[in-house]
Structure 1
Amino acid sequence: MRKKFWLTLMVLSVGSVLTACGNDSEGTSSDESNEADFSVITTFYPIYDFTQNIVGEEGNVELLVPAGTEPHDFEPSAQQIAEIQDSDAFVYHDENMETWVPDTVEGWEEGQLSIVQGTENIELMPGNEEDHDHEGEEHRGEGEHQHSHEYDPHTWVDPKLAIQEVEAIRDQLSEDYPEKEDAFAENAENYIGELEELDQEYEASFADAQQKSFVTQHAAFAYLAREYDLNQVPISGLSSEEEPSPERLAELKDYVEENDIQYIYFEENASDDIASTLADEANVELEVLNPLESLTDQQIDNGEDYISVMEDNLSALEKTTNTEGEEVQPEETDE
């Protein structure tokens, strides 16, 4: 009798434990279902931030290019490509930035996942000087996926174009996932409102700019300069990894000295050796101007994002644009 009692008790105990474990497991999967149900992989930082603000709590958005990494020449590993294929949506900027994308997605099964291009409705400016004769052609020619930038991909540094990119990402995700369209629309509307305020800050600041020319480490700010009637004078080309020739540095030193330029802008996340050398030789100050191609882990942990960094960029540029004196003339270039 006693044995039968203890046997019954053990069976009931085991059953209770299994039931509890089953309930715990079900609760965990339910809590995580919002994120696990819809997964999005984005390429580099501004695309990640734009997409995160659109998707919100509707899914999990991941960043492919590691924090603090130069994205211009990034190539994904086989494992990363497999992870992209396992996701629901892949969001990239433009093949002139992520030059690896066209060849990578070419063999993927149609409809396997949503492939979203941020610059879908944006006309890019010509890139390197030797490519200027391509102006007016379609900027997405087939087979032209080299690491050189035929077209300037840095549209996101212009808040107005950032808004267009957010709208393009929203529309493409909504088309492929109509059940989330309302949430995407509401999230995007709120974020676009913040971007419009940012744009208004830039417009108000530069409306009466006393100086319009600014010297940058690399040619990442052409769209911003065009939008707000400024003049970018880059030390090097479209990639921060490019190094200028000694002749180019000598030209810039003369330009800085002749125009009494007070600041040269460099990037925290790239080598500032060239900018520092020019600043030392011309006896001017260095100031950070972030092209937002990547944020460090520390910046992300500190809560910095696209809008906060763009506000920092505005404050940095105002050190030049608010400088009194004779207006600096644009750099003369050979056509």
Structure 2
Amino acid sequence: MLSNWLHRALFPVSLLLVLVIAGCGAKSSGSIVEGKVNAVTTFYPIYEFTKEIGGEDANVINLLPVGVEPHDWTPRSQDIVNTSKAQLFLYNGAGLEGWVPGFLKGLDSDSKVQSVEVSKGVNLIMTDEDDGHNHGSAAEDHEGEEAGHDHEGEAEHAHEGEEVGHEHEGEEAGHDHEGEAEHAHEGEEAEAASGDSLHTDPHTWVSPKSALVMAGNIRDSLQAADPEHKDGYEERYNKLAERLKALDVKFEQELAKLPGKEIVVSHQAFAYLARDYGLTQHAIMGLSPDAEPRGQDMVKLASMVKEEGIKYIFFEELVSDRLAKTLAAEAGVSTMVLNPVEGLTEEQDKNADNYFTLMEKNLQNLILALQ
């Protein structure tokens, strides 16, 4: 009898524990804090930069959980609740978060949150290679389009992180989130209307040059939302900017010395890095890591790897390495990590890795592969 009673008494407790544990896996990084600027970010690099610039003056909530790849992630109902109460919603834009327009329209009608497209001002790369049928480098194949694609006169600011963003502070402040959602789709609508098959490569942050522009936009948005702590945001931004500039110089100097310039990657995420540091990217898959290549594309890539004397096929941790290993086996070469820094694995999170440690590892692996 006693054992039956204990079983009945403890069963609800054990069920509750199972539910609590199950609910811990895919949560975002925090909740709203009253009395601070609450900034909701969509994925890891924006989260890290916002935390650094925000310091003690901002509460930063990252929507994307640790260990999750951002391309196919979609928000939960709690994310809508938190964002509705926040002051800032910072998203990459450039086509990365396809769910943003619908998400913003789903926020509470009385929400005062300001949505900011953090990649604004980066000289964006256009590509038609979104489906995994890749034959070369987005940075190389579309140089003509990049040169002519001025993005409303902002391209010239692409390497001036300190300056970018000031000119549109008032514009952001005056936009409601539904208007911003419409803005997020303007480029896609124009593209559809023209019948053009070009897509924007969203992986802006993978180049320190573009990351500097993004950091400037984050600083501007924090200062606009919380002018009382403007000096603190400026000071912390300057420290971050110095680190990004030093990383940029290191990439330029180290990669310029290397004889090899061709990189083969699993996912077309390195066009900004390739463009800014004189490399040529060949990708197995498209802009989304889900895009499967055709067999003939794999055969062509294997031939190119052999002809060019490429020694390594790069893969990344948050998506399957199956295709990279298949190509490496076909071409008789090895594999190595090149991280697009879209998020942290559980192990990287435990090791306190960050944008800078991961980009330093990327540089060391590029040096090893290209020498």
Secondary structure at 1:218's aligned position in 2?
coil
Is 1:297 the counterpart of 2:346 in the alignment?
Answer: yes
What's the CA shift string for 1:27-80, capped at 9, x where partnerless? xxxxxx988522221110111111111101112212101111111122111221
Question: TM-score scaled to structure 1, two decimals?
Answer: 0.80
Is 1:287 the counterpart of 2:336 in the alignment?
Answer: yes
Secondary structure at 2:239's aligned position in 1?
helix
Distance 1:42 1:214, change over 3 A: same
**Pairs aligned (count):** 290
Is 1:67 the counterpart of 2:116 in the alignment?
Answer: no
User: What letter matches 1:97 in structure 2?
Assistant: L
CA contact (8 A) 2:85 2:111 kept: no
The CA distance in 2 between the partners of 1:73 and 1:162, in whole Å, is 22
In the other structure, the counterpart of 2:124 is: 124
Percent identity over the alignment is 40
The CA distance in 1 between the partners of 2:47 and 2:233, in whole Å, is 15
CA contact (8 A) 1:128 1:238 kept: no
Report deviation, 1:206: 1.3
What's the CA shift string for 1:105-157, capped at 9, x where partnerless? 246558711222211212311133389798738595528389x9820010101
The CA distance in 2 between the partners of 1:298 and 1:121, in whole Å, is 33
Q: How does 1:1-335 map to 2 (within 5 A)?
A: 37-106=36-105, 108=107, 109=109, 112-129=112-129, 136=149, 141-142=185-186, 144=188, 150-322=199-371
CA contact (8 A) 1:97 1:149 kept: no
The CA distance in 1 between the partners of 2:198 and 2:243, in whole Å, is 30
The CA distance in 2 between the partners of 1:216 and 1:73, in whole Å, is 19
User: What letter matches 2:114 in structure 1?
Assistant: S
The CA distance in 2 between the partners of 1:246 and 1:275, in whole Å, is 13
User: What letter matches 1:127 in structure 2?
Assistant: T
What's the CA shift string for 1:177-221, capped at 9, x where partnerless? 211211110110001111111111101101222010010011100
CA contact (8 A) 1:96 1:149 kept: no
User: What letter matches 1:115 in structure 2?
Assistant: S
Secondary structure at 1:91's aligned position in 2?
strand
Pick the structure with greater CA Rg. 1
The CA distance in 1 between the partners of 2:346 and 2:235, in whole Å, is 29
CA contact (8 A) 1:288 1:313 kept: yes
CA contact (8 A) 2:265 2:314 kept: yes
Secondary structure at 1:236's aligned position in 2?
coil
Secondary structure at 2:70's aligned position in 1?
coil
Distance 1:307 1:149, change over 3 A: farther
Report deviation, 1:224: 0.6
The CA distance in 1 between the partners of 2:247 and 2:187, in whole Å, is 37
In the other structure, the counterpart of 1:17 is: none
Distance 1:173 1:296, change over 3 A: same
Q: Which is worse superposed, 170-179 or 305-314?
A: 170-179
Distance 1:75 1:233, change over 3 A: same
Secondary structure at 2:71's aligned position in 1?
coil
**Runs of at least 5 residues in structure 2 that lack an aligned partner in the other structure:** 1-31, 132-141, 153-183, 192-196
The CA distance in 2 between the partners of 1:174 and 1:157, in whole Å, is 25
The CA distance in 2 between the partners of 1:228 and 1:195, in whole Å, is 15
Secondary structure at 2:342's aligned position in 1?
coil
Q: Which is worse superposed, 218-227 or 137-146?
A: 137-146
4+ runs deviating over 4 angstroms: 33-36, 107-111, 130-135, 137-141
**Runs of at least 5 residues in structure 1 that lack an aligned partner in the other structure:** 1-32, 323-335
